[in-house]
Structure 1
Amino acid sequence: MPRFLPPFRLFCILVLGFSSGLPLALTGSTLQAWLTVEGVDIKTIGLYAVVGFPYTYKFIWSPLLDYINPQMFDQRRGWIVWMQLACAGLVAALAFVDAHSAWTVAAVAVAIAFCSATQDMAIDAYRTDVLPAEERGLGAAYYVTGYRVAMLVSGGLALILAGEWLGWRGTYLMMAALMALCAVLSAFSPSLNTTDDDKPAKKALLDIVKQSARDFLRKDAAWGVLLLIVLYKIGDAFAGSLTTAFLLKGLGFTLTEVGVVNKTVSLIATLLGAFLGGHLMKRLGLYQSLMLFGIAQALSNLTFWGLSVTPPSIETMGVAVFIENLCGGMGTAAFVALLTSLCTREFSATQYALLSSLAAVGRVYLSAPAGYVVASFGWSTFFVLSTVAAVPGLLALFFLRASLQKLAR
């Protein structure tokens, strides 16, 4: 293979990222748009937000992916392909459901979310198992790229297709076909080439839970690393939780202005940041990348502080959004590489699901008081505090420097 071409496994990670991101909007924003156009009551539409709960609680059944061997391909690819085919069938079924049949729509949407969340865990485990250490940063970049493109396809593009050419049934059938195509491509992704695939299935399910936890806690400074996972993206999440509200209410930009910037500038910047971070990681290593990108994503919050103390303009908003998403994309690439490095191959599905759920604690719960901070201190102080909120994670990273060299394989 020519040196300028990426390894085939990275192309497969790109496809898997696309497959992971495709179902999300189909049970979220695109589903809401379909129901709205069909005249479903707004209260009913609001209740559909809960159909995404499998994504939050997927760690509960994650040990099953280390316990059950689907007996097709190797264990990881077997789960991936089966879940992709299940998602394809369910999305196609949703195309024929009456939008006003609330319980039927909800049941199919929850089933899609369940299969999609299970697919995500299998893909995380496969990515952990198949990528060598030096490619984990790039692997994260390829995965994020595929994921973001898929969200555009099943989000914005789906709305255009439904409104202009295919209608809702045709659009959902097309999305189902794309999902089925992902299953075909996944079937040809590189095998893990191991003779140990059936070992997890020989253990009792409870043993897998216990052994995966025991295996992780044996690692050097395991509890400190768990704290790092919670804290590393706190500052980024704290600021990001109210960015849209700030641009709309704080600065007075219109929905269209904010929408155009978020759909274009943020996407380009995030993808550029993920790839730049992935390439730099090959030279810098895991610890230095986490520290450098962590500092960058913390300081990038100050660009929004700059917006809060200067007259608003589209140009300065675009610059701030670009810088924040560029640095956030770099930090995400390093953070995903960290989670991947922490997982043991035998228990990668269980451990990655638990670690990613732990990472969500900071994003969901510790950033929840953000609105109260703005109400009490104003936007300028809020963005300064969001930068300060990143400091504990950077300090934890600094003190874990030696341990991370042992933990990352």
Structure 2
Amino acid sequence: MHTPHTQRSWRSAFAVYRHPRVIGMLFLGFAAGLPLLLVGGTFTAWLRDLGVELAAIGFLSWVGMAHSIKVFWAPVVDRLALPLLTRWFGRRRAWMLLAQTVIGGSLLGIALTDPIQHLWLVAVWAVLAAFGSATQDIAIDAYRIEAVTRDRQGAMAASYILGYRVALLAAGAGALHLAAVGNWSIAYGVMGLLMGVGLITTLIIREPEVTVDQTTQRLEQRVVDYLQRTRHRGWRRGLTAWFIGAVICPFADFMKRFGWVALLILLFIGTFRISDIFMGVMANPFYLDLGFTKTQIANVAAAFGLAMTLIGAALGGVLVARFGIMRMLIFTAFLAPLTNLTFSWLALLGPETYGLVMAIMADNVSGGLAISVFIAYLSSLTNTAYTATQYALFSSLMTLPGQFLAGFTGVLVEHIDWFWFFISSAFIGVPAIVLALVLARWANPDRIEQPGQ
């Protein structure tokens, strides 16, 4: 069944931000972003400030890998009912509440533990916070997709990004300031209490209404038919049923809906952000090598850059509502590598503040725009019967190739100068442009009805 995107007026496109669930996503985004630095950059700064050895800090940085492997337990979040909580609050809100409680409790545990005397216990709290954070991401992503129609997905993504970025400021600069005027225990205690923002929001919002389409019902009926024929009985039969329904069906459903095009879609997901990720790793070293001061980098690249990213994300939500996902996806696929060329221009210009401002403006506005549009696109690919598992797969694949290639950027810069490095980072974005144009014909999200909607 096809449902072509109806182009809205600008007024109705901007009105998308008044939707209650779009507003609620702002606070859920804050809850999602808050733990990230508290088990990452802020966490390592605290440990080093207290004199913990660098080797121990390096090993403890592994706790952040929970976000890269969340696809492995996403099926559990998708299908396992939590005792009492699921019955009281629903499937998505139950997991959000559990994860938020674990995060808040773990941050308070870190605040009350002396890492000099009990570093192992701090590590335990940090691991719990990291896995709670990744689990919360799975549940919030699923809720965001299921809570509103496709034309509001861009606005939901933009609202989420705004809340997420504000939380990063709170957990980064905010925590450092609290540690400076007080101590690290106070900083982590306050951050733990701020997780109450997520808890309160989860209690206020309503569970999304999800329907299962006939194609999905037929797919799962095959599981029932298989189990009726199997010789397995008791717990083995139950475990087999759960595994097929929670793990096999989400991937089988995706391949069945898109056929051979599914491989192109996965390839596109893996390449769309390569250009930005590849370039981004070397951004700060580039600014320093060019001659900019740390203050200039903080004021322009960090603070001004954040504002530009948020403007781009908000604009992305409006443009998706106005023009649809596919046209904006093609536009941002072209825009991302083109804006990388502004850094090649900056490399020739030298340490001129106006050049840095223009490069940051172009790169961060396009980056914020691309992120909100791409999140809306990934959301459109999911079947609401398997939202958490399918989106966890997409979001993991979204960054993995770029992060792998980014590891070689230092070697590349040593062999070519900065000008050609940014030229090469732009060319890496060409495959995503080609794939976007191909998918506009074979898998246009504005024409294909989303299962369960």
Task: Identify the TM-score tier after normalising by the shorter chain.
Answer: over 0.9
Contact 2:16-2:152 at 8 Å conserved across structures: no
TM-score (norm 2): 0.85
Match for residue 230 of structure 2? none
- Cα distance in 2 for partners of 1:237, 1:311 equals 23
Moved more, 331-340 or 168-177: 168-177
Q: Deviations over 1:92-144 (max 9, x none)?
A: 11111112122111111011000110000010111111121110011110001
Structure 1 residues 143, 4: CA separation in 2 closer, same or farther (over 3 Å shift)?
Answer: closer
Q: Secondary structure at the match of 2:137?
A: helix
Superposition RMSD in Å: 2.0
Structure 1 residues 375, 4: CA separation in 2 closer, same or farther (over 3 Å shift)?
Answer: closer
How is 1:251-290 mapped onto 2 (pairs within 5 angstroms)?
251-290=290-329
- 1:297 CA displacement: 1.5
- 1:237 CA displacement: 1.6
Match for residue 118 of structure 1? 135
- Cα distance in 1 for partners of 2:53, 2:411 equals 31
- Cα distance in 2 for partners of 1:252, 1:378 equals 15
Q: Secondary structure at the match of 2:395?
A: helix
Is 1:367–2:403 an aligned residue pair?
A: no
Match for residue 197 of structure 2? 181
Q: Deviations over 1:278-298 (max 9, x none)?
A: 101112211100011221111
2:244 to 206, 212, 227: 206
Match for residue 105 of structure 1? 122
Match for residue 248 of structure 1? 288
- Cα distance in 2 for partners of 1:301, 1:5 equals 30
Unmatched 5+ stretches in structure 2 = 1-13, 221-237
Contact 1:139-1:278 at 8 Å conserved across structures: yes
- 1:366 CA displacement: 2.8
Match for residue 435 of structure 2? 396
How is 1:10-409 mapped onto 2 (pairs within 5 angstroms)?
10-70=22-82, 71=86, 72-100=88-116, 101-164=118-181, 166-194=182-210, 203-220=241-258, 221-249=261-289, 251-405=290-444, 406-407=447-448, 409=450
Contact 1:219-1:407 at 8 Å conserved across structures: no
Letter in 2 for 1:11: I
Contact 2:210-2:385 at 8 Å conserved across structures: no
Moved more, 146-155 or 175-184: 175-184
Structure 1 residues 389, 407: CA separation in 2 closer, same or farther (over 3 Å shift)?
Answer: farther
Contact 2:337-2:426 at 8 Å conserved across structures: yes
Q: Deviations over 1:374-407 (max 9, x none)?
A: 2222111111111111111100110111233255
Contact 1:341-1:407 at 8 Å conserved across structures: no
Contact 1:67-1:205 at 8 Å conserved across structures: no
Unmatched 5+ stretches in structure 1 = none
Structure 1 runs of 4+ aligned residues shifted over 6 Å read: 199-202
- Cα distance in 2 for partners of 1:407, 1:96 equals 52
Structure 1 residues 19, 42: CA separation in 2 closer, same or farther (over 3 Å shift)?
Answer: same
Contact 2:271-2:402 at 8 Å conserved across structures: no
- 1:362 CA displacement: 2.2
TM-score (norm 1): 0.94
Match for residue 233 of structure 2? none
- 1:236 CA displacement: 1.6
- 1:5 CA displacement: 6.3
Structure 1 residues 408, 362: CA separation in 2 closer, same or farther (over 3 Å shift)?
Answer: farther
**Bigger-Rg structure (1/2):** 2
Q: Secondary structure at the match of 1:301?
A: helix
- Cα distance in 2 for partners of 1:262, 1:408 equals 40
Moved more, 323-332 or 233-242: 233-242
Q: Secondary structure at the match of 2:349?
A: coil
Structure 1 residues 372, 26: CA separation in 2 closer, same or farther (over 3 Å shift)?
Answer: same
- Cα distance in 1 for partners of 2:21, 2:282 equals 37
Moved more, 344-353 or 290-299: 290-299
Q: Secondary structure at the match of 2:152?
A: helix
Q: Deviations over 1:4-62 (max 9, x none)?
A: 96111011111111000001111112212222222222332232211111111111111
Q: Deviations over 1:165-209 (max 9, x none)?
A: x4222221111111023212211112213587xx99995123321
The number of equivalent residue pairs is: 404
